[in-house]
A and B are shown apart, each in its own frame.
Chain A
Amino acid sequence: MMEILARTPRAPLARLVPLRIFRDNSREAILFGLICLMAVAINWRAPEYLAPKNFDNLLYNLSFLAILALGQLPVLLSRGIDLSQASVLALTGMLLALLSQGSPDLPAFAHVALALALGALLGATNGLFIAFLRIPPIIMTLGTMTVYRGLIYLLSGGAWVSSFEMSDAFKSIGAMRIAGLPLTFAIMIVATAGIWYLLSATRSGRNVYAVGGNPVAARLVGISERKVELLVYALSGMAAGLCGYLWTAHFAIAYTQAAEGREFAIVASCVIGGVSIAGGKGTVPGAFLGALFITVIDTSLPFLRISPFMQMAIIGAVILIAVAANAQAERQPGRQILRRSDEQNSGTEISPGDRS
């Protein structure tokens, strides 16, 4: 019996066909429409915004934020949060930069593999403590956020590793192009497809949704919460590690404060994309579009001659509006049931999330 229940049905591959994205998810469609509208409006005011030179810049910025947001997505789905991503990014970037200084013969793709492995290791450390020692995710990742950041300083002595100290192989990835597009962008697309496949078409991915959607039910059907937690934090770390290398290779500099303070922008990307911080709800296209949305705003302000000092306030306002819109969209039957059971005073309040 348990055996049968434990089998999460495999989602048909048909769900991956892009055309079907928007039929089920009107929220993503609205967000996508909004982004297109914004791009058109920006381009009308400042035609140089989508010119090839700046388009590259847009693609790089999008790639970095999207990789991080897609790493964050499974974590949020499982009811967790990973605040250590920006520190993992910087630590991986610094470690690899120092490595390339010491062994300049290392081929370019070895760096990518190392970045993934290092990131996975740093992320799995979070996962181990969260899964086995039951440390609340926000506390654990807050802790490693500062610890990892401090380690960069210890490793580098606070010094920068700049362009001329890095090997050519190390930097080559940051400038390589495929079919006219930056390789970094192509890597991001592959990573996105990978996470999408994992979350929608594999049992492990469906388990992430199950644990986040209803932990008690997930436990009853025999899904291991620990495995899911280890997986999502390792994935999040992997994404951050990969991004750390691509970032360092692109900007050709590694320093202690790299990406400091970005952790909230990553979570904000997911939230704008309709990912619920309460777990179980959220899609890959959503998180991706959230990252695209923030990137477009981030990169377009200078072209609209809006002071860079206004940027933070505008992003803050946008996040709040997006949160309000999402909250409005969720005002549906679910809430009605909750309210009615309150009024009836039935007393059988089931709040699975609060048990653990």
Chain B
Amino acid sequence: MKSVLGGARKALGSWEAGLLVLLAGVFVLNSSLSPYFLDYYNLIDSTLTFSEKALIVLPMALLIISREIDVSVASIVALAAVLMGVASDLGADTPTLVAVGLLTGLAAGLANGIIVSVLRVHSIVVTIGTLSLFRGIAVAIVGDGAYTKFPASFAFFGRGYVGNVLPVEFVIYILATVLFAIVLHASIVGRRIYAIGANPAAARYSGISLARYRIALFALTGLMSGLAAVLLTSRLGSVRLNIATGWELQVITMVVLGGVGIAGGTGTIIGVTLSVFLIGLLSFGLSLINVPGIVLNIYVGLLLIGAIAIPNLTKIVASAFLSRHKES
């Protein structure tokens, strides 16, 4: 079964190549749909719409590769953002605000990791609980109000530019991507994450502490969600109870479309990066021609289903054809 899968994969070309073709298609489509698409400043600013989510995509890819999942990320963003708002109201300066955001994320992620490890239940169940709990705490604090008073220097992260050409958010995202790529593809830690995902029992027999990796990965996911919260809060300059709603599913969609198998053990950082740009630029292009977000979601949903259905369909048709060929 595995060799059949591997063979089909090779025959179809790598997932990443497919994504690259799609991405090129989006470029062509978008630039033919709107003359404003291929404008440097438009394009680079469009990265602002997905950089924050993309920062969570990276650790989520690692989690899913290791057979876990965290559906509470958007709630962690909300909790971190609200606590930053509280801190700001109490007169905290910019470095303190950033620390509050990052530490809240880290603490929430640690909590997820520890609960999953202690209870030994599937992480989707635990994080459905914390999804409700974290956002619930945030909602209980902010109520129907909003936090809008942030120090002027805090706006740097979400609205600043490096050398007037690259948004700070984008630079942070690119740096994070490089870091994650190195960790996953060129370090022992990365090899072990694949090992855990491919065969947890074997990984354990070879001396990997599953619990330690699990807790660390959840903590990392929390931390990156905290970072995303810092950037988002800085960019919006306002925190309300519905901040980052629905992000968990968008993040998971980006990860899976990027070729990370939900069964664990497969996926690359290049893949999820291509998928982030694919969805990000598709959204941007369609918004230029005034396609509403909810209609755009139809395309993303179809893309997600199609991305997995079409290779599988090809495989089934091919094997049916082959077996008929053999018989005759």
Contacts and interface: CB of A to CB of B under 8 A. Distances in A.
Given A271-B128, A316-B133, A309 B144 contact: yes
A129 B253 CA distance: 17
A304 interface: no
Contacts of A311: 136
Contacts of B12: none
Nearest to B67: A354
Interface string A121-137: 00000000100111110
A264 interface: yes
A66 to B, nearest CB: 18
Interface in B286-318: 292, 294-295, 297-298, 300-302, 304-305, 308-309, 312-313, 316
A291 to B, nearest CB: 15
Interface in B95-141: 115, 119-122, 124-126, 128-137, 139-140
B294 A313 contact: no
B125 A271 contact: yes
Contact of B129 (A153, A309, A316): A316
Nearest to B298: A150
A342 B115 CA distance: 22
Interface string A323-356: 1101100000000000000100101010100110
A320 interface: yes
B171 interface: no
Interface in B72-91: none
B204 interface: yes
A158 B292 contact: yes
Contact of B136 (A277, A316, A326, A327): A316
B133 A256 contact: no
Given A138-B262, A323-B119, A327-B121, A264 B136 contact: no
A144 B305 contact: yes
A153 B312 CA distance: 30
Interface string A244-273: 000000000000100001001001100100
Interface in A287-332: 307, 309-317, 319-320, 323-324, 326-327
A278 to B, nearest CB: 6
Given A142-B252, A316-B133, A354-B263, A135 B140 contact: no
Contact of B133 (A158, A313, A349, A355): A313
B128 A310 contact: no
B126 A320 contact: yes
B242 to A, nearest CB: 10
A158 B252 CA distance: 26
Interface in A107-162: 129, 132-136, 138-140, 142-147, 149-151, 153-154, 158
Contacts of B128: 264, 267-268, 271, 319
Contacts of A153: 292, 294-295
A277 B116 CA distance: 14
Contacts of A138: 124, 262
Nearest to A256: B294
Nearest to A271: B125
B178 interface: no
Contacts, number: 146
B143 interface: yes
Given A144-B305, A323-B126, A312 B249 contact: no
A351 B201 contact: yes
A342 B140 CA distance: 45
Residue among A151, A158, A313 facing the most chain B CB atoms (10 A cut-off): A313
B294 A149 contact: yes
A142 B249 contact: yes
A133 B315 CA distance: 9
Contact count band on A = 35 or more
Contacts of A140: 305
Interface in B129-163: 129-137, 139-140, 143-144
B256 interface: yes
A222 to B, nearest CB: 19
Contacts of B122: 277-278
Contacts of B121: 277, 323, 326-327
Contacts of A324: 115, 119
A146 B119 contact: no
Contact of B263 (A136, A319, A323): A136
Given A153-B295, A309-B143, A316-B136, A139 B256 contact: yes
A320 B115 contact: yes
Given A129-B305, A158-B292, A342 B297 contact: no
B205 interface: yes
B309 A323 contact: no
Contacts of A320: 115, 126, 129-130, 133
A317 B133 contact: yes
Contacts of B249: 142, 145-146
Interface of B: 1, 71, 115, 119-122, 124-126, 128-137, 139-140, 143-144, 201, 204-205, 241, 245, 249, 252-253, 256, 262-263, 292, 294-295, 297-298, 300-302, 304-305, 308-309, 312-313, 316
Nearest 4 interchain pairs by C-beta: A313-B136, A316-B133, A316-B132, A312-B136
Given A316-B131, A316-B133, A316-B135, 12 more contacts: A133-B309, A133-B312, A136-B308, A142-B301, A145-B249, A147-B297, A154-B298, A158-B292, A277-B121, A313-B133, A319-B129, A323-B126
25 contacts: A133-B308, A139-B305, A139-B308, A142-B252, A142-B253, A142-B301, A142-B304, A143-B304, A146-B249, A147-B301, A154-B295, A154-B298, A267-B128, A268-B132, A271-B125, A277-B124, A278-B122, A309-B144, A313-B139, A316-B133, A320-B115, A320-B129, A323-B121, A326-B121, A345-B205
Interface of A: 81, 129, 132-136, 138-140, 142-147, 149-151, 153-154, 158, 256, 261, 264, 267-268, 271, 277-278, 307, 309-317, 319-320, 323-324, 326-327, 342, 345, 347, 349, 351, 354-355
